[in-house]
Amino acid sequence: MKKIAVFASGNGSNFQVIAEEFPVEFVFSDHRDAYVLERAEKLGVLSYAFELKEFENKADYEVALVELLEEHQIDLVCLAGYMKIVGPTLLATYEGRIINIHPAYLPEFPGAQGIEDAWNAGVTESGVTIHWVDSGVDTGKVIKQVRVPRLADDTIESFEARIHEAEYKLYPEVIRELLYK
Ligand code: GRF
């Protein structure tokens, strides 16, 4: 059985969708008060939380993450709203085993505001991307992406909701293809 860990910083709706379909070994949050931790408890998924500011530096923080991943013999790390750049310490041991979901059609609109940036640019379509994680911001090799239209009567809320629905479909599809085929 392949082992999945999910990293999330906040809400955790993508984590929930993943955990409802696949066994998740643990979820990690870099915020001790993140809502994703409540979701984990309700779903009976093991969770860990610690914050960068509790460590001397990012390398030490990531050493703690690597220890957790190794202790649990994790095969695939799924970033799902994990709002930190993965640093060299984590990449050194796990590059090639970390994937991320981004709410735009990369290389269009990388960065933390992918949905708002697409909306403000007035696009007629955006999308969702799952990619391998490298040292850049949303620059790793694309695994799979889908287009999501912006409709004439969309508000940013309805546009955002359609993008999230596409995320909830695409992330499980990719995990299935990577781990279970
Ligand atoms: C998602 O839109 C994801 O693409 C982005 O952050 C958001 C996380 O949402 N990286 P949630 O925490 O899974 O609800």
Among 14, 79, 138, 168, which is best to mutate for testing ligand 1, by the most ligand atoms less than 8 A from CB?
A: 14
Question: Rounded to whole angstroms, how far apart are CA atoms 41 and 36?
Answer: 9
Q: Is 131 a catalytic residue?
A: no
In sequence order, the 6+-apart residues with CB closer than 8 A to the CB of 101 are: 14, 78, 79, 80, 81, 128, 129, 130, 167, 170, 171
DSSP 150: P
Contact assessment for residue 109 and residue 127, using Cβ atoms and an 8 Å cutoff? no
CA 14 to ligand 1 centroid distance, Å: 6
Pocket of ligand 1 (CB under 6 A): 8, 10-15, 80-81, 101-103, 167
β-partners of residue 81 are: none
Question: Rounded to whole angstroms, how far apart are CA atoms 109 and 51?
Answer: 27
Question: Rounded to whole angstroms, how far apart are CA atoms 53 and 83?
Answer: 14
Question: Rounded to whole angstroms, how far apart are CA atoms 117 and 115?
Answer: 5
Q: How many residues does the chain have?
A: 181
Residue nearest to atom 8 of ligand 1 (CA): 81
Residue nearest to atom 3 of ligand 1 (CA): 81
Q: Judging by DSSP bridges, how do beta strands 24-29 and 47-49 pair with one another?
A: parallel
User: Residue type for 106, please?
Assistant: L
In tens digits, the chain (181 residues) has pLDDT values of 899 999 999 999 999 999 999 999 999 999 999 999 999 999 999 999 999 999 999 999 999 999 999 999 999 999 999 999 999 999 999 999 999 999 999 999 999 999 999 999 999 999 999 999 999 999 999 999 999 999 999 999 999 999 999 999 999 999 999 998 7
CA 8 to ligand 1 centroid distance, Å: 8
CA 103 to ligand 1 centroid distance, Å: 7
CA 11 to ligand 1 centroid distance, Å: 7
